[in-house]
Amino acid sequence: MTYIKDLADHVDNQVTLKGWVYNFRSSGSLVFIEMRDGSGLTQCVVAKDDVSEDAWEAANSLKQESSLEITGTVKADERSIGGHEIHVSDVKVIQVAENYPITPKEHGVEFLMNNRHLWLRSQRQWAAMRVRNEIIFAIHTFFQGRGFVQMDSPIFTGNAAEGSTTLFETDYFEDKAYLAQTGQLYGEAMAMAHGQIYTFGPTFRAEKSKTRRHLTEFWMIEPEMAFYDLEMNMDLAEDMLKAVVSQVLEKCKMELETLERDVETLQKVAEKPFERMTYSEAVDILTSEDTANMLDEMAESRRQEKIDLEKEEEEIRKEHGQAKKWRKTQIDQRIKEISARVDQIEEDLRNIPKWKESAKNFEWGNDFGGSDETVLMMQFDVPLIVTHWPAEIKAFYMKRDETDKLALGMDILAPEGYGEIVGGSQREESLEVLEERIAEEGLDKEVFEWYLDLRRFGSVPHSGYGLGLERTVSWICGLNHVRETIPFPRMMGRLTP
């Protein structure tokens, strides 16, 4: 058995492929089967004269997603998907599929999500999962290459570390436990044992928000390093993101093409230094006249673009009547593109006034909302690291600066409107200060005693951060919702399949 990804090694030779029918059409004495085998997609051509009667019958009995075995000769063909074509000598059906619910026509997202177990087979979904896999591999490669030890934090925990409003509570025999919102507190203990560690595991938040950035179950990568200050923490995160983006650009060319991802912006991320500024500087940008003007100009250029697109549509529609068949197909395709773009423009035009209002009236001390992040990031083509946050809106464990008003936290915002992908900080290392914080926040000191021990026995300055895997996948793939970045997403209102 040969895998489609390896066809280049078998040009002009006979191979046997096992897989599924992705697409299928017949014309007289030829059957064209687009076959997928998990490793790739290739076109198989069955000519009536080249195969036995049984094989010809088998080929004609096929339906979308039927499983099959094909034997044939590999031909190099520039114009074919993947650069090869199979000239078939035998077809064996493994199972003729029932009518497959996901057809090449368009489906609504709810329908596709309900069929997620099947939707995973579609090209774009397949490509996104492969990019996710490469990102995971790149993260491990990066940290392992620097001598970090991967360690696992528990999922059942008694500690709420990231606020009490998003906890999933569960019975733990006579006790109650939470599903971990973060592995960080355990990460700190492990860093005191191993110096530089990272966790890579599922985390849970009862997020009551239905946004394109929120899941209730997501995967987080949390490095924690003894003797790192905020600056070193930022440098590490920047190096990591650059390494991840570079590796994906190198290894996932075909997947990014399938996803129609603009790779130029990713290349910039791999090459250019990230932007860094304090929260206060970011607020100044957000509330500035320049930002308001930029949004006005953006609205104006969107309106103009819409007028131009509508004019173009009118013209090609006129042409449609007399056009040749191939041109008609081209026109239909273009009309679809125009309509998608116009929808996007209309959404932007509805949003821009809201964004402008929210940015202009932003008050120092608040957390950035999704739209504030979007507006801020319109001005940058690389990630932005925001530091020195108002302490009130950040977690109790963050170290503060000398004014005691600002937390030495860092958030990294992705370009192109993908929002916060990293949250981290330097940690408070003083026992007394932490005890005060825990009391101030009304946290149960008893469950934090073990954590306080880390400050009793050889406390050192240390730092770490958490990278949200799904948001990173969504950004690198250019997907507009995190639900397509994980095989089986868990969100408010979705527990199946």
Residues 408 and 427: their CA atoms lie apart, in Å, by 8
Name the one residue in this structure whose structure tokens are 């958030």: 411
72 contributes a contact to ligand 4AD by CB under 6 A:
no
Extended beta strands in 375-476, E state: 384-390, 406-414, 419-426, 462-468
CB of 367 to Mg ion, least distance (A): 9
Q: Nearest-CA neighbor of 481 among 139, 219, 210?
A: 210
* Interaction partner, residue 214 (ligand 4AD, Mg ion, none; CB < 5-8 Å by kind): ligand 4AD
User: Nearest to Mg ion by Cβ — which residue?
Assistant: 423
Of the candidate spans 73-81, 96-104, 239-247, 422-430, the one that interacts with ligand 4AD by CB under 6 A turns out to be 422-430
* Interaction partner, residue 182 (ligand 4AD, Mg ion, none; CB < 5-8 Å by kind): ligand 4AD
| Segment (H or E) for 30 | strand 30-36
Q: Say if CB 287 and CB 359 are below 8 A apart.
A: yes
* Interaction partner, residue 421 (Mg ion, ligand 4AD, none; CB < 5-8 Å by kind): ligand 4AD
Among residues 72, 383, 415, 424, the one that binds ligand 4AD under rule CB under 6 A:
424
Residues 256 and 7: their CA atoms lie apart, in Å, by 20
182 contributes a contact to ligand 4AD by CB under 6 A:
yes
Task: Please say which residue, 124 or 212, places its beta carbon nearer to ligand 4AD.
Answer: 212
464 contributes a contact to ligand 4AD by CB under 6 A:
yes
β-partners of residue 73 are: 14, 87
Among residues 40, 72, 383, 468, the one that binds ligand 4AD under rule CB under 6 A:
468
Tell me, residue by residue from 405 to 424, as one string, x for binding to Mg ion by CB under 5 A and - for no binding. ------------------x-
Residues 388 and 410: their CA atoms lie apart, in Å, by 7
Q: Nearest-CA neighbor of 24 among 39, 38, 35?
A: 35
Tell me, residue by residue from 328 to 367, as one string, x for binding to Mg ion by CB under 5 A and - for no binding. ----------------------------------------
Of the candidate spans 33-41, 71-79, 213-221, 339-347, the one that interacts with ligand 4AD by CB under 6 A turns out to be 213-221
Q: In what order do the strands lie in the sheet with 149-150?
A: 149-150, 196-204, 217-226, 462-468, 419-426, 406-414, 384-390, 275-278
β-partners of residue 71 are: 16, 90
Taking each helix axis as running N to C, give the angle between helix 370-377 and helix 279-286, from 0 to 180 degrees, rounded to the nearest 10: 80
Among residues 215, 256, 282, 382, the one that binds ligand 4AD under rule CB under 6 A:
215
CB of 493 to Mg ion, least distance (A): 23
394 contributes a contact to ligand 4AD by CB under 6 A:
no
Task: Please say which residue, 93 or 248, places its beta carbon nearer to ligand 4AD.
Answer: 248
Residues 125 and 329: their CA atoms lie apart, in Å, by 25
Q: Say if CB 468 and CB 474 are below 8 A apart.
A: no
CA-CA distances (angstroms) from residue 473 to 107, 166, 219?
23, 23, 11
* Interaction partner, residue 205 (Mg ion, ligand 4AD, none; CB < 5-8 Å by kind): ligand 4AD
**Number of residues forming the site for ligand 4AD (CB under 6 A):** 24
CB of 462 to Mg ion, least distance (A): 19
| Helices within 66-147 (DSSP H only) | 109-114, 116-119, 123-145
184 contributes a contact to ligand 4AD by CB under 6 A:
yes
Q: Say if CB 124 and CB 36 are below 8 A apart.
A: no
Among residues 69, 77, 420, 435, the one that binds ligand 4AD under rule CB under 6 A:
420
415 contributes a contact to ligand 4AD by CB under 6 A:
no
Q: How many CB atoms lie within 10 A of CB 466?
A: 23
Task: Please say which residue, 215 or 249, places its beta carbon nearer to ligand 4AD.
Answer: 215
Task: Please say which residue, 161 or 248, places its beta carbon nearer to ligand 4AD.
Answer: 161
Task: Please say which residue, 215 or 270, places its beta carbon nearer to ligand 4AD.
Answer: 215
Which residues of this chain interact with ligand 4AD, rule CB under 6 A? 161-162, 182, 184, 205, 207, 214-215, 218, 220, 222, 420-425, 464-466, 468, 470-471, 482
Task: Report the interface residues with Mg ion, using CB under 5 A.
Answer: 423
